Amino acid sequence: MDRVAAMLVLLGLIVTALLFMLALFSIAPMFCCCLAALLYALVYFLANEGSNFHHAQEFENRFWTLLAVLLTAAVIFVKDSPFCFGDQRRGLGMFVSFIVGCAVHVFDRMMHRKEMSQVV
């Protein structure tokens, strides 16, 4: 794929994502704000790979774990979320958030260990 076609595809994806976010904002404003804030944090994290935050793998692991827990909490506890059940079953919501956070933490560590074992 040449450069112009790749840029047009990227522009199409950005416009589609923007339109999707606007449509979602009209249906679920609080959930969309949470998703936009998490998306901003993700883009900021990925755009600044030269910062001190990326110098240790443990810092990156903490970021991915925190992002997963916050996303899970937004999906479960925000009132206009499509999967909201945290207002009726708080214990289950906290348990699911905890399990997802642990799973992401363990998965990130496993991937880092696998990468390190292949390098050596």
What phi, psi does 71 have (nearest 5°)?
-65, -45
Note the pTM of the prediction, 2 decimals: 0.77
Mean pLDDT of 12-23: 88
Give me the helices (H) in 28-84, please: 29-47, 57-77
- Summarised one tens digit per residue, pLDDT across range 88-105 is 888 999 999 999 999 999
